[in-house]
């Protein structure tokens, strides 16, 4: 059970705990088409390491 879930997560995500980066493999950059990295800190956003394109997930007003 646990092995299957772990394998699935590794298939879909690539997590870097040092920089809080999650690479979701089905999110692609609209500019260059490469896989984008998901950042949670300081704000949730998608970032393309190739061309530098950044897409903010939530822009909540306080």
Q: Which stretch binds Zn ion (CB under 5 A): 2-10, 15-23, 41-49, 54-62?
A: 41-49
**Minimum distance between the CB of residue 14 and Zn ion, rounded to whole angstroms?**
17
Work out which of 7, 12, 15, 32 binds Zn ion, going by CB under 5 A: 32
Regarding 6 and contact with Zn ion (CB under 5 A), the answer is: no
The Cα 15–Cα 37 span in angstroms is 9
Q: Does 37 bind Zn ion (CB under 5 A)?
A: no
Residues 25 and 38: beta-carbon distance below 8 Å: no
């Amino acid at each position: 059970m646990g092995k299957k879930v772990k394998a699935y997560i590794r298939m879909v995500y690539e997590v870097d705990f040092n920089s809080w980066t999650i690479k979701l493999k089905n999110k692609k950059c609209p500019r260059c088409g490469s896989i984008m990295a998901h950042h949670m800190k300081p704000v949730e956003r998608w970032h393309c390491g190739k061309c530098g394109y950044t897409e903010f997930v939530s822009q909540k007003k306080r």
